[in-house]
Structure 1
């Protein structure tokens, strides 16, 4: 049985405060989203996800998805009114402009299981 995980990376480098990426997300019966940030020493970041200009997730701090404890399913946010099957825009915004030597790489994970997958989730 194939798991439906997809990821997109959004990098913030010196001088950046925001960056945008796009990702075509597979269709499934439900959509779960997780976020991780590569560098804890850089400023905090918020993640906003849109479909056709409309928010499917309002800006959330990446720390919401912290993931320091618990299995994957406890760190994912379920998006109840979106099931995948289209292009999403991922906006990552830092709480200040990154300075020399700072960098954040934000990885957004999309999990779009079908009903049979959910039985094993």
Structure 2
């Protein structure tokens, strides 16, 4: 059986080895906020309280946040971080450290 897949834009596969995803992310976004967001990505991908869809959506949002942060658009960064914060707050296993990271990154753009 052959399956065809068509991808448009950046795609993060949640079943891809976490170390590879983190390394790729760090190579793309090497900055102070990039390091923090890489740690957040690691937490999200390792969460057992988030569904696969939530982990995938959050990973996409983290990638988008890093891209927007590289262009230095504070309002867009805050919007993305707010969406991330709402998702990770529902994951008991990562809520506290993830919120700390979101707050830290947010303060870089205040």
TM-score for both structures, normalised by structure 2 = 0.30
Greater RCO (CA < 8 Å, at least 6 residues apart): 1
Higher strand residue share: 1
